[in-house]
Structure 1
């Protein structure tokens, strides 16, 4: 690392710290769900009705995130990356704390929707800041490393929250602690994170400005959106429901939360490897890696149909992280910087991420209903089918863009 690169990597480390803390206020809904289900059952709701109600809240949160993603680019453009990042973090922390102090399905839904609206600004702001600090030849590596914030960060958050549950905390305490972590981290970023280098980079971007409406006529952009749809559906389903899945096959709540962290942990390794390979492979090579990752993800989801013991499930969860984590991180990260100039990247990332989160809508109530009606085998079979279909569509688009 040269002396001129060190400030850029310091900015990346601050972004990792800050966006890792964002995930403390996202994984808490998944990790605390078994405890929250038990509380709702004590209040008179059946387990099935409580599961569907929380699944509906998860879906509403995803819808809120989608709406936020499509407007986040404008917010980042107006406020700048750093101020938008701080706004998203502080708002999400306050909404999480309010959730932890509230009671009843309506208030749970209100505060979770508010949390996800604020969180939707954080990642586009991160893309804007990375694009300002790094040159085009390092986008893949830089975004792969920064993506550790929500991959390793997800695992770190789950491990910490699992520890709290194992020592007797209930889900409400986990929420308050998660809000405190996020608030502290974003305030630290506010003190030390800067929007861009003092001296602009000589080689900022290989792209001329592109009218956003023209992107929808480009097969490469459409392929990234379809891949984002499939990977986001898988990622959100596993992130939201693995603790419930593991408790269903015999693990305690604490062990289930810890086991669910295997997925983002292995996904972090995949993101760094994919970023490095992607910088070497070029645009066409990255598209082929994306399709290969989707096919392997579908095969892994099908493998859950044969899982008969927790040990087999552990292996499949780790494998899912390895084959899906890197390609997914690319679609919601460096892909926008590959397609347009850095100043447009936040807006384009918002569109790609928003299109992806259309798939995540299915990861809430729809997956809950599938799991209740057909068991988890039905849910995993559906995920495998979506991955296979998305792979086929991406292949068609790749041929058109060649």
Structure 2
């Protein structure tokens, strides 16, 4: 075995694992970074110029403006709901298809291509400002196209990470890794806030450029799976090569040759077939977690798209201040995702962890609506707590649970189910993500209290849908404790 250079050997082992983790983190951070600007810009698109007693400045050469037709009408909330729904319905439909393609195409090409297209459509939305476009259908069509191409992200990044990390500390690792969602929301809010009150088109164009640039980096550097996972690693190490990739020439090592293989080359083992949609649904737990995520994501995405406008309307902050304050919800989401992953790893109860957090989230949402705007300190604390409890279960289901189910023992080692299972779970959740902002747009004219009642009801339904899996986990714990007590008595 010819040894590779030391740095290349290290990079081919643990280095590639770390590189994959960092790159996929940056990839999905940029996905969420490009989704967030619409929620920040909403509060600046709808003021009616005539009501303010000023003249509109909507031309591309203007530096100030106070409204943007057609969003300056009294039904602006319904129009914003239509924009959100256009993106999210397209995303939900595309997600069920995306997983199927993700299992059959090279993930690196699929992911990087989707990111470049996402950057294009995000920028096109912002170019509507500079091109002086006031046609609702232009913005809806751009949102639909963006929703479809953004479905390339989640199945691809979860499949990449799932290929590299086993189940031992998957909850904690993916809990930390899943903070990309909240980091992307925070960065998207801050970047969009820079231009929200002047040239709002740049609030979309700059994130579009960022996601396209990260997609290009992904194309050149992402390694989607362990190269040595089907090789005789033990033999290669005994010959002085710490790691043996699937294509040994890439790091300068030759594969081990037995006497039989030296005389007549063996044909490579056949790759397992990608799992079907119905086959993935038959994996135990997929249906329950998918339906739970539908309601959990409904709550999370309602906050994602409507929290800044809620703060503007209730606390009477400016658009930039409301956008900056809304990032605290995502700070809580980071903490909640890590906490949920750590607890579920320690206890072995993914469903129970989700259920407990959902139960506690319901009264916290009620309290935030009642007392969350009474003072800045209270608002900060409540936003962090609500963000942790709402996004914790959402993060756990879309990462560690999806990876667990995609590598379930019933698959008998067929890793080609991971992208499809991830797409089914997140696609079902995306139906809720589409319903939440739409319902918020329809209900909010009747009062924000009713919006929060809707969110609390969704939290309760998400918890109920996990009841069967929770009972199964509790019975497993009881059986384990009974066996342990019996063993101690025998001793």
So what's the TM-score if we normalise by structure 1? 0.90
Q: Which residue of the other structure, out of 309, 312, 316, is the alignment partner of 1:244?
A: 309
Paired residue for 1:259?
325
Paired residue for 2:457?
385
TM superposition shift of 1:333: 1.4
Paired residue for 1:361?
434
2-structure distance, mates of 1:395, 1:144: 23
TM superposition shift of 1:186: 1.4
2-structure distance, mates of 1:54, 1:17: 28
Instruction: State whether structure 2 residue 131 is matched by structure 1 residue 86.
Output: no
Paired residue for 1:175?
204
Paired residue for 1:126?
157
Query: Which has more radius of gyration?
Result: 2
TM superposition shift of 1:86: 0.6
TM superposition shift of 1:372: 0.9
2-structure distance, mates of 1:396, 1:73: 26
Maintained 8 Å contact 1:210/1:340: no
TM superposition shift of 1:218: 5.8
Stretches of structure 1 lacking an aligned partner (at least 5 in a row): none
Distance 1:400 1:143, change over 3 A: closer
**What's the C-alpha RMSD, in Å, of the aligned pairs?**
2.5
Maintained 8 Å contact 1:227/1:290: no
SS at match of 2:227: coil
The worse-fitting range, judged by mean Cα deviation, of 311-320 and 208-217 is 208-217
2-structure distance, mates of 1:209, 1:45: 46
The worse-fitting range, judged by mean Cα deviation, of 120-129 and 138-147 is 138-147
Stretches of structure 2 lacking an aligned partner (at least 5 in a row): 1-9, 48-64, 234-272, 408-414, 476-491
1:327-342 equivalent positions in 2, closer than 5 A: 327-341=393-407, 342=415
TM superposition shift of 1:210: 6.9
Maintained 8 Å contact 1:17/1:149: yes
1:311-322 equivalent positions in 2, closer than 5 A: 311=376, 312-322=378-388
Paired residue for 2:419?
346
Q: Which residue of the other structure, out of 462, 467, 473, is the alignment partner of 1:395?
A: 467
TM superposition shift of 1:387: 1.0
Q: Which residue of the other structure, out of 82, 87, 108, is the alignment partner of 1:56?
A: 82
Maintained 8 Å contact 1:125/1:346: yes
**Greater relative CO, 1 or 2 (CA 8 Å, sep 6+):** 1
TM superposition shift of 1:42: 5.1
Paired residue for 2:251?
none
Q: Which runs of 4+ in 1 moved over 3 A?
A: 3-6, 38-48, 208-212, 214-219
Q: Which residue of the other structure, out of 310, 332, 336, is the alignment partner of 1:270?
A: 336
Distance 1:45 1:240, change over 3 A: closer
Q: Which residue of the other structure, out of 227, 242, 252, is the alignment partner of 2:292?
A: 227
Distance 1:380 1:219, change over 3 A: farther
For each residue in 1:189-220, what CA deviation from the matched residue of structure 2 results, as whole angstroms up to 9, or x when unmatched? 222111223322789xxxx9976525545662
Maintained 8 Å contact 1:228/1:328: yes
Paired residue for 1:150?
181
Maintained 8 Å contact 2:159/2:403: no
So what's the TM-score if we normalise by structure 2? 0.75
Distance 1:362 1:196, change over 3 A: same
1-structure distance, mates of 2:150, 2:124: 15
